[in-house]
Structure 1
């Protein structure tokens, strides 16, 4: 199979979370390896591969075995006899996977970011957009972004590094403020697609909250939850809708994927 075809399959299987077979298999080790690897035998490790092959019928067994040996060579799993990941493997997964933030302190201010970097300096505009995405800012329109988290220090460093002092402006809006004809809550809901994400959390809960642990496919449950979390801006609780399902979904995810189940 061509690499482009494999990548499409992987993205489909992992709900857009991961982009390589090795990362898919590493997550599989993390999710189900601990419950299979109670005895240090090679059978446990190969059971992980067989479970992956069952879930990912579109990827052939040989490709999965190659990924398995790659993980071992890179020190991401403990050994060929023990189906569990190493500290290095956990570190890699932490970088790949979205992380749920339980602590979301907020200073009660919404920050509006505007910039005036000419299109002739597109490379810097793109760098700035990348930074804004990484800090969780939401795109409003044109060269305007919004975020509930204070971006001033990061943007000050960016401006100083690339010589854009005075061309990036940060304004503050109170919790009860308006932008145009929209209230702040309406604006955040539109920019961050909160209603859509909340509906996805609802579907996850409808599917998994009443299932008993032995009947749950950890891989599918984790892939579904993490794919939603990846879209979630994880706004402060004060800015979330009253019926927000994200916190409950996280508790169900923890329960379903806990070790030893």
Structure 2
């Protein structure tokens, strides 16, 4: 807890905000605290974090042309459960093809079923995986279905920020080992959070479903390269080094 507070105070975040955030995550079941000032992820928290971190890996995965379809019918009396389940599907990267019919080119069957069980809706959900005989989404339709135009504008802004604001600071040598790697780690977290936000909103569609002007792959590629650079700028003896080991 002490290290966590130190890291976020270096980012200008008051320690009470950190404590309040941890308390909220505990209430929502994403973390638990076996003893005072010690926290660890629950199964739900690990699942959520794994989902965010694994999404960018889809950029290099080849699509087999098949779709996962999730169909459900939930009465109005259980609207809260239905809306929560729908929100989980959208966060995974599903698109709403029709009312209560959601599709994804990626096989999220296990995750979708886990969410359905969590909301007590497993017996109201049907899933299938295969090719469309007629009416498969085209890139133009996918842009509308997943609202990719707005997301592409976000990527354009993020690329501009990365190239004109973030990278020049790093190039100017404002990170290093003078503070045991803390400044580099703070920058690493700042960029990582932006990537996480993008991952939450991006369905990571395969290239076959994207328009030619799509900027997502370019943006993630440049951000990933920058994360690797920041990770390597943290000294091997730094207490922050093990947090970035997957980028070394």
TM-score (norm 1): 0.53
Q: Distance in 2 between matches of 1:118 and 1:66?
A: 36
Q: Distance in 2 between matches of 1:252 and 1:65?
A: 33
What is the aligned-residue RMSD (CA, Å)?
4.5
Segments of 5+ residues of structure 2 without an aligned counterpart are: 23-32, 41-45, 176-186, 234-248
The match for 1:119 is 76
| Structure with the greater alpha carbon radius of gyration | 1
The match for 1:191 is 145
Superposition map of 1:151-190 within 5 A: 162-164=122-124, 168=126, 170=128, 172-173=131-132, 178=135, 184-190=138-144
Name the SS of the counterpart of 2:106 in structure 1.
Answer: coil
Superposition map of 1:33-182 within 5 A: 46=6, 48-53=7-12, 56=13, 59=14, 73-74=37-38, 94-95=49-50, 97-99=52-54, 100-101=56-57, 102-120=59-77, 122=79, 125-126=82-83, 128-129=85-86, 132-133=89-90, 135-150=92-107, 162-164=122-124, 168=126, 170=128, 172-173=131-132, 178=135
Name the SS of the counterpart of 1:259 in structure 2.
Answer: helix
Deviation at 1:251, TM superposition (A): 2.4
Name the SS of the counterpart of 1:209 in structure 2.
Answer: helix
Deviation at 1:232, TM superposition (A): 0.6
Pair 1:184–1:103, CA change in 2 (3 A): same
The match for 2:205 is 235
Segments of 5+ residues of structure 1 without an aligned counterpart are: 1-21, 27-44, 77-90
Name the SS of the counterpart of 1:178 in structure 2.
Answer: coil
Q: Distance in 2 between matches of 1:108 and 1:94?
A: 27
CA contact (8 A) 1:104 1:235 kept: no
CA contact (8 A) 1:185 1:239 kept: yes
Residue 248 in 1 paired to residue 218 in 2? yes
Pair 1:66–1:146, CA change in 2 (3 A): closer
Structure holding more helix per residue: 2
The match for 2:193 is 223
CA contact (8 A) 1:113 1:168 kept: yes
Q: Distance in 1 between matches of 2:78 and 2:223?
A: 44
Q: Distance in 2 between matches of 1:49 and 1:163?
A: 43
Pair 1:72–1:233, CA change in 2 (3 A): farther
Deviation at 1:206, TM superposition (A): 1.4
